[in-house]
């Protein structure tokens, strides 16, 4: 089993993912979140084909398509985190943290 924990940022929501391979090219997902959009996504995204999730060929990743349908914010890191967990659970990637750091610096171009 692969576990991922995603802190989404300013919304304050944390999502926990468990991804488990069934040995037959499918990954079963258990997704827990306080975010209503991610809860809707979790209800629909319970089993995926890892090879579909890691490519934009064909219909592309189911996690991204369903995230849009469920009303996830376009900048939400959860769908990408789900795909990372699927990769690791399928043995297609090594487990490693991914980080986005955001900082806003005043460059003097904005006037009050």
| Residue 109: predicted pLDDT | 73
Per-residue pLDDT at 110 exceeds 90: no
17-53 pLDDT, tens digit per residue, is 999 999 889 999 999 999 999 999 999 999 999 999 9
Query: Looking at the 3D structure of the chain, how many domains does it have?
Result: 1
Kindly report, residue by residue over 64-100, the tens digit of the pLDDT.
999 999 999 999 999 999 999 999 999 999 999 999 9
Read off the tokens for 11.
Answer: 């919304």
C-beta of residue 28 within 8 angstroms of C-beta of residue 20: yes
Is a pLDDT exceeding 80 seen at residue 10? yes
- Asked, for residue 112, whether it belongs to a domain, the answer is no
Q: Is 85 part of any domain?
A: yes
Return the CATH number at 11. 3.90.1010.10
Among 6, 10, 7, 22, smallest CA distance to 83 is for 6
Question: What does the chain come to in residues?
Answer: 112
- More confident site: 106 or 31: 31
SS (H, E, C) 41-79: HHHHCCEECHHHHCCCCCCCCHHHHHHHHCCCCCCCCHH
Q: Is 109 within the bounds of a domain?
A: no
What mean pLDDT do residues 58-66 have? 95
């Amino acid at each position: 089993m692969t576990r991922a924990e995603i802190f989404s940022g300013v919304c304050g929501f944390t999502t926990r993912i468990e991804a488990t391979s069934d040995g037959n090219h499918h990954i079963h997902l258990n997704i827990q979140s306080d975010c209503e959009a991610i809860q809707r996504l979790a209800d629909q995204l319970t089993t995926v084909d890892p090879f579909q999730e890691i490519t934009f060929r064909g219909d592309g990743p189911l996690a991204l398509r369903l995230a849009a349908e469920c009303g996830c914010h376009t900048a939400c890191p959860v769908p990408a985190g789900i795909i990372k967990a699927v990769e690791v659970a399928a043995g297609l990637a090594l487990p490693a943290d991914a980080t986005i750091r955001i900082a806003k610096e005043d460059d003097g171009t904005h006037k009050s």
